[in-house]
Amino acid sequence: MTMDSLHATPIYECLDIAVDHRLRKLFLPVSKEEASIFTGDHLRRISQIGLSLQHRDEPVPRHEIKVTQQLALPGSVGGILIMLLQPANTQPFDLGVDITIQECRTFAALHEGFRAVTCNSLGIPDITVIDSLPFIRPKDKVSPQLRRQLRMQVFEIVKAKRPDVILCMWQDKNGVTEDMELIRSVGIGRRFSEPRVQLEHDFTANRVNAFHPSYTIYHKPNFSCFRQLLLLEIAQTCHTYMGNWVEREWMAELREKCRVKASGLSSK
């Protein structure tokens, strides 16, 4: 899969499925002209974590810090922020940000989804992507104390970014701080009871519940409803950002169908 092919994805087909006609009606361009002129402090904070972290008996490579920062662009405050869990074991950071996006199926799926939903106006390079455990691979053995410490720092990164909308796509039971629980996924097919979350005393952001793209890529590849739901959650994020999200009855039906299938209560 190449970046060019992702840009050319027709809106009636995405993520290897035919897109529900009701979903296609939600696909609209998103203006990038609303980006803030103010620069945030989140990129510097990411670099600070990378330079201070030594969890594999060696410093975090400079190229890994650089790509992690590039994934967290734009440098301005506001916009859309995607919260993922952690980098994959085989992330090719040494080959640069473009190859990292192409070779990581999670990033590729998100890029393809956002390009389709926004009629090619937004992709991963236009959206801030941050991990709840930056620089920590699934194979790394880290203490609960380090996980909590990192997540406290990540919450400071999120506050520095001051996003308009947070797409919450990660879950974890270990080392989750009270603050980070506010921007953690509440499960497949569910919604936040209160979509707005207070990040600081003078700042609130919208949040959209979702699930990690790897779930539909690796765990449920043969169930198209999860890919439809992933596109719906991306669409909800974009429309929330534009201030025109409207919930429909069919959306609740899709969420419930996916929730039941994920729970194993149905074999249909």
What are the residue ranges spanned by the domains of the chain? 3-185+192-263
In angstroms, the CA 99 to CA 16 distance is 21
Mean pLDDT of the region 124-147: 94
pLDDT band for position 149 (cuts 50, 70, 90): very high
The share of the chain scoring above pLDDT 90, in percent, equals 85
Residue 36 has pLDDT above 60, yes or no: no
Q: What are phi and psi of 180, to 5 degrees?
A: -70, -25
The token pair at 21 is 């006609």
Weakest mean pLDDT among 4-8, 67-71, 140-144, 215-219: 4-8
Average pLDDT estimate for 22-47 = 84
Which residue type sits at 139? Answer: K
| Residue 229 parent element (H or E) | helix 224-242
Q: What's the pLDDT at 33?
A: 55
200 φ, ψ (degrees, to nearest 5): -140, 170
Domain 3-185+192-263 carries which CATH code?
Answer: 3.40.470.10
Q: Are strands 196-200 and 203-209 parallel, antiparallel or unpaired?
A: antiparallel
Determine if the pTM surpasses 0.85.
yes
Select from 84, 61, 120 the least CA-distant residue to 215.
Answer: 84
**If pLDDT is split at 50, 70 and 90, which confidence band does 32 have?**
low
Cis peptide bond N-terminal to 74, omega within 30: yes
Query: 100-114, 206-220, 253-267 — which is least confidently predicted?
Result: 253-267
Of residues 247 and 2, more confidence is placed in 247
Strands (DSSP E) found in 33-141? 80-84, 128-131
Q: Which residue has the tokens 């008996």?
A: 57
The answer to whether the Cα torsion of 93, 99, 103, 107 is positive or negative is positive
